[in-house]
């Protein structure tokens, strides 16, 4: 937490601040910054993505975090100038409007002035965190995957991000599913023995790969559970297992396919950087290497930037920008 003295300016006035939320399907991350983008506080709460759980439950997790923040004497709601929330899968204006109205009611129902509120998808806030601007591209490889881009003229494009059944090439789910399939193909004798089998049996306490069938078809198993197997695939790949390395390579190629398709949508992207982020990039150096190799093999010369900032920080920067735009227009 930021020291108390940093929450006041030289005149002894309370520092105005903004909130940047990364609303995910398993957790929500919050970063608070001042109006210069200096990070003041970070927090984490429950899932807040309406695509992953009922709307009321998602919003309750958000307001719980706001209650906790504004309950601190240093973060009076009257000093909050802006909120930006990025949510995976939120693209339709009606979806954004519903979240916006809920947050506005939260403030006005308590007699507080509502700050500026912006609702965006997760790719937009990740792009801002990655390249410090919303011009460029970002390739996200986490539980799901997407390539998102915004041109200098304001055109927005996307490839992928259609969910685990329709897309998500190069994602943790993609890698996890291929891991499970490789284990069963090895068990059947189609593929050579693989370290993946040993790691999965040990991690889950199975006696045989055949036990996977009972586990994976249980009603409560969803894409998050399948994506968890990507961790073991990355581990096996780092140990040199050929089946695991092939899976990582194919997943990286799938994400390169999405990137190449993005370049065909607008030539402006060839002159802009691409940020890469997500748990697969963070935990698998091999995935990043294969992704870059695939781009080069296709004759694609891009500045590839590893995003070190959390998407929630990008959301906070966008909230700062919205406030500055409003202030400058007055």
What count of residues does the chain have? Answer: 330
- The whole-angstrom separation of Cα 223 and Cα 228 is 9
Q: Would you say residue 315 lies in a domain?
A: yes
Angle at which helix 242-265 crosses helix 172-188, to 10 degrees, equals: 140
Give the total number of structural domains in the chain: 2
pLDDT of residue 6: 47
pLDDT of residue 99: 93
Same domain, 207 and 286: yes
Same domain, 269 and 167: yes
> What does DSSP say about strands 136-141 and 39-45: parallel, antiparallel, or unpaired?
unpaired
Lookup result for tokens 């609303």:
23
Q: Would you say residue 147 lies in a domain?
A: no
Same domain, 215 and 268: yes
Q: Would you say residue 256 lies in a domain?
A: yes
Q: What residues are paired with 137 via a beta bridge?
A: 149, 274
Same domain, 192 and 104: no
Q: Would you say residue 109 lies in a domain?
A: yes
What radius of gyration, in Å, describes the C-alpha atoms of the chain?
A: 22
Same domain, 291 and 167: yes
Same domain, 95 and 165: no
Angle at which helix 285-297 crosses helix 223-238, to 10 degrees, equals: 90
Same domain, 293 and 166: yes
- The whole-angstrom separation of Cα 146 and Cα 8 is 40
Q: Would you say residue 141 lies in a domain?
A: no
Same domain, 177 and 285: yes
Q: Would you say residue 143 lies in a domain?
A: no
- The whole-angstrom separation of Cα 159 and Cα 173 is 17
Same domain, 321 and 296: no
Alpha helices by DSSP H, listed for the chain, are: 55-70, 93-108, 122-131, 163-166, 172-188, 195-204, 211-216, 223-238, 242-265, 279-283, 285-297, 311-329
For residue 31, what are the domain limits?
Answer: 4-133+310-329
Same domain, 118 and 43: yes
Q: Would you say residue 138 lies in a domain?
A: no
**In this structure, what token pair is assigned to residue 35?**
């109006």
Same domain, 241 and 323: no
- The whole-angstrom separation of Cα 85 and Cα 316 is 8
Contact call for residues 314 and 275 (beta carbons, < 8 A): no
SS3 128: helix
SS3 284: coil
CATH number at residue 291: 3.30.420.40
Which DSSP symbol is given to 15? P
- The whole-angstrom separation of Cα 275 and Cα 303 is 8
Phi, psi of 6 (to 5 degrees): -75, -10
Low-confidence ranges of the chain (pLDDT < 50): 1-6, 9-12
Same domain, 203 and 110: no
0.85 exceeded by pTM: no
Q: How far apart are the first and last CA of the chain?
A: 33
Q: Would you say residue 129 lies in a domain?
A: yes
- The whole-angstrom separation of Cα 22 and Cα 11 is 33
């Amino acid at each position: 937490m930021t020291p108390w003295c940093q929450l006041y300016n030289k005149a002894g006035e309370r520092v105005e601040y903004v909130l940047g939320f990364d609303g995910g399907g398993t957790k929500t991350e919050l970063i608070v910054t001042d109006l210069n983008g200096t990070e003041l506080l970070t927090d984490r709460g429950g899932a807040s993505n309406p695509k992953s759980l009922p709307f009321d439950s998602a919003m309750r997790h958000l307001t719980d975090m706001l209650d906790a923040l504004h309950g601190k004497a240093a973060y009076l709601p009257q000093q909050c100038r802006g909120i930006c929330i990025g949510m995976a899968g939120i693209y339709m204006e009606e979806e954004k409007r519903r979240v916006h109205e809920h947050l506005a009611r939260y403030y006005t129902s308590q007699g507080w002035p509502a700050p500026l509120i912006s609702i965006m998808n997760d790719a937009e806030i990740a792009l801002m965190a990655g390249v410090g601007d919303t011009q460029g591209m970002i390739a996200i490889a986490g539980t799901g995957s997407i390539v998102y881009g915004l041109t200098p003229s304001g055109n927005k494009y996307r490839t992928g991000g259609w969910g685990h059944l329709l897309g998500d090439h190069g994602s943790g789910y993609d890698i996890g599913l291929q891991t499970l399939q490789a284990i069963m193909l090895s068990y059947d004798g189609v593929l050579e023995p693989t370290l993946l089998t040993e790691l999965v049996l040990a991690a889950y306490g199975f006696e045989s790969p055949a036990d996977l069938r009972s586990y994976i078809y249980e009603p409560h198993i969803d894409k998050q559970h399948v994506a968890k197997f990507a961790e073991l695939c990355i581990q096996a790949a780092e140990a040199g297992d050929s089946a695991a390395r092939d899976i990582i390579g194919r997943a990286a190629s799938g994400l390169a396919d999405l990137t190449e398709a993005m370049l065909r949508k607008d030539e402006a992207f060839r002159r802009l950087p691409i940020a890469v982020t997500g748990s697969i990039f963070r935990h698998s150096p091999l995935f990043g290497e294969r992704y870059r190799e695939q781009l080069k093999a296709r004759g694609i010369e891009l500045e590839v930037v590893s995003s070190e900032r959390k998407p929630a920080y990008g959301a906070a920067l966008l909230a700062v920008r919205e406030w500055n735009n409003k202030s400058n227009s007055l």
